[in-house]
């Protein structure tokens, strides 16, 4: 059964009452949060996971008297009134197949939680830049004294915030969550960009785009949507009453349509025959043009909710980049080290290469997502002095580089070897950039651990150089 056929079947869900029993699929962070929220919301939860439930999760479930099963899904999930899928559950999973075969109502976490959201919602998705955009918007709201919270794939799971009493909820939404979504309430939406990602999960670029654009369908009548002008064609159609704001780079002109234009040194927002500065690039300490896009989108989305800031610098200069997203990791012997371990797809690493200034040695590789490396190889050839490859995809990336006539790379086995090799290639004032274009799962449990390991190696080098 193809993804869309599974989704069509899942749409036939029935409403269910308080006191109903709920089978929650997945015992990860979002699954445990769903179980706890289900209990708070007067449902009777049961948790089922295809693997082992972590000791901490099992302890938490037992302390609340919530039953669970591990190491595989059984027909026990059918004893509940509805099956709820935590973040990341594939339409091809055994639990989904069991539920559909039995005609059991099936829904994603957004539809399950949507009726309990009472605050205004700013939702952000996209292939890259989601976390920076979400955390920046939350930072600005908090500094402004607005009762707000950041949720979703960053910070606490959405379920941990419900029921809640915030005025604005800023939510990062993945394509996995959106795949199952039909009725989550959104007032303002941002789609940061669209590029190939998670093709191994979705099966094709077409399915991935369909999942991402589900956010458009969730926007309330008269709500707003901010997106890249270059993505307009693949995101269409839009609701007739939606307030659209597009973003592009270049020269600006006053327009009737809402538009953000990023020039050489600032972002300008126009619409209704008028234009004004949104922010100056010097207002923000974030590295790279891609982060300037993130700042512009966050500010524009907040404006759509009625928050207009006459002095954005006072909010932007106190914001620190989220960990492992073009994060400054140190400087040693004149070489700058940047941790972009969150660059887990080709588009993210290309954006980092294109956006960060100066000569670069890039560290690439890890476990792939089924992507082609042509665009990555072209970007490396244009923007890097050299490359260091490691992990499961190093041979495929190396072959792509060779095919584009780039031979200044070295293959390594470990992160320590990779950093040493990068240092040998680098010259004073160069940048060593960890932006792998791959997941970390072949060598690390997550991209954070990969980034922290890189940072520890850099700190050790700095300490030795100071001796």
Distance separating alpha carbons of residues 414 and 427, to the nearest angstrom: 22
In SS3 terms, 285-324 reads as CCCCHHHHHHHHHHHHHHHHCCCCCCCCHHHHCCCCCCCC
Last residue of a domain, one of 316, 338, 363: 316
Is 25 in the same domain as 159? no
157-200 pLDDT per residue, tens: 999 998 778 999 999 998 889 988 998 999 999 999 987 766 67
Is 74 in the same domain as 161? no
Is 125 in the same domain as 212? yes
Classify residue 321: in a domain, yes or no: no
How much of the chain, in percent, has pLDDT values that exceed 70?
Answer: 95
Give the mean model confidence (pLDDT) for residues 433-460. 96
pLDDT band at residue 14, thresholds of 50, 70 and 90?
very low
| DSSP run (H or E) holding 263 | none
Distance separating alpha carbons of residues 201 and 9, to the nearest angstrom: 19
Is 127 in the same domain as 103? no
pLDDT band at residue 10, thresholds of 50, 70 and 90?
very low
pLDDT band at residue 203, thresholds of 50, 70 and 90?
confident
Cβ atoms 190, 298 nearer than 8 A: yes
Q: What is the pLDDT of residue 16?
A: 65
Distance separating alpha carbons of residues 330 and 351, to the nearest angstrom: 21
Q: What is the pLDDT of residue 3?
A: 54
213: pLDDT strictly greater than 60: yes
Distance separating alpha carbons of residues 416 and 282, to the nearest angstrom: 35
What's the CATH code of the domain at 231?
3.40.1190.10
Within its chain, how far is the Cα of 467 from the centroid? 40
Q: What is the pLDDT of residue 9?
A: 46
Q: What is the pLDDT of residue 197?
A: 67
Last residue of a domain, one of 275, 290, 316: 316
Classify residue 172: in a domain, yes or no: yes
Mean pLDDT of the chain: 91
Is 123 in the same domain as 101? no
Is 369 in the same domain as 220? no
The CA-based angle 178-183-186, given to 5 degrees, is 80
Selection from 171, 178, 242, 172 nearest residue 210 by Cα: 178
Last residue of a domain, one of 261, 296, 316: 316
Token pair 């699954």: residue = 31
Is 378 in the same domain as 391? yes
Is 334 in the same domain as 261? no
Q: What is the pLDDT of residue 217?
A: 93
Q: What is the pLDDT of residue 253?
A: 83
233-277 pLDDT per residue, tens: 999 999 989 999 999 999 888 888 899 999 999 999 998 889 999
Neighbours of 31 (CB within 10 A): 29
Number of domains into which the chain is organized: 3
Tokens (6 digits) for 354: 């294109």
Q: What is the DSSP string of 132-195?
A: HHHHHHHHHHHHTT--EEEEESSSB-GGGG-S---SEEEEE--HHHHHT-S---EEEEEE----
- Domain of residue 32 covers 3-112
What's the CATH code of the domain at 32?
3.40.50.720
Cβ atoms 167, 232 nearer than 8 A: no
397-438 pLDDT per residue, tens: 999 999 999 999 999 999 999 999 999 999 999 999 999 999
What's the CATH code of the domain at 339?
3.90.190.20
pLDDT band at residue 205, thresholds of 50, 70 and 90?
confident
């Amino acid at each position: 059964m193809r993804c869309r056929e599974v989704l069509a079947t899942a749409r036939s869900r029935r409403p269910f009452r308080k006191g109903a029993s709920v089978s929650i699929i997945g015992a990860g962070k979002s699954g445990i949060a769903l179980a706890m929220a289900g209990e708070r919301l007067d449902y009777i939860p049961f948790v089922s996971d295809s693997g082992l439930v972590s000791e901490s999760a099992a302890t938490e479930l037992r302390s609340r008297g919530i039953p669970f099963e591990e190491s595989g899904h059984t027909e026990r999930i059918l004893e509940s009134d509805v099956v709820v899928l935590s973040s990341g559950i594939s339409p091809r999973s055994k639990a989904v197949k069991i539920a559909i075969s039995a005609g059991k109502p099936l829904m994603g976490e957004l539809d399950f939680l949507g009726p309990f959201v009472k605050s205004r919602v700013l939702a952000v998705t996209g292939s890259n830049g989601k976390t920076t955009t979400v955390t920046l918007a939350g930072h600005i709201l908090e500094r402004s004294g607005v009762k707000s919270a950041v949720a979703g794939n960053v910070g606490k799971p959405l379920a941990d915030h419900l029921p809640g009493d915030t005025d604005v909820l800023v939510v990062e939404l993945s394509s996995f969550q959106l795949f199952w979504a039909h009725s989550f309430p959104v007032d303002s939406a941002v789609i940061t960009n669209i590029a190939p990602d998670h093709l191994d999960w979705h099966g094709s670029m077409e399915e991935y785009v369909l999942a991402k654009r589900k956010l458009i369908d969730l926007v309330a009548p008269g709500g707003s949507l901010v997106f890249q002008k270059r993505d307009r064609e693949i995101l269409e159609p839009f609701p007739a009453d939606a307030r659209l704001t597009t973003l592009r780079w270049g020269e600006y002109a006053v327009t009737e349509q809402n538009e953000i234009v990023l020039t050489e040194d600032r972002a300008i927002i126009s619409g209704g025959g008028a234009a004004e500065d949104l922010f100056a690039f010097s207002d923000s300490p974030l590295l790279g043009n891609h982060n300037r896009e993130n700042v512009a989108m966050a500010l524009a989305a907040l404006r759509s909710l009625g928050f207009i800031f006459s002095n954005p610098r006072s909010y932007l200069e106190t914001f620190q980049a989220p960990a492992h997203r073009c994060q400054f990791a140190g400087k040693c012997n004149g070489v700058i080290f940047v941790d972009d371990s969150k660059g887990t797809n080709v588009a993210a690493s290309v954006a980092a290469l294109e956006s960060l200034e100066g000569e670069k040695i890039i560290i690439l590789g890890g476990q792939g997502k089924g992507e082609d490396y042509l665009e990555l190889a072209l970007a490396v050839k244009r923007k890097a002095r050299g490359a260091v490859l490691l992990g499961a995809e190093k041979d495929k990336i190396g072959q792509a580089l060779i095919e584009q006539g780039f031979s200044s790379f070295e293959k390594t086995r470990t992160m320590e070897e990779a950093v040493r090799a990068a240092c040998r290639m680098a010259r004073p004032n160069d940048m060593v950039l960890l932006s792998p274009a791959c997941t970390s799962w072949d060598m690390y449990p997550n991209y954070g651990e990969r980034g922290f390991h890189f940072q520890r190696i850099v700190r050790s080098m700095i300490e030795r150089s100071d001796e």
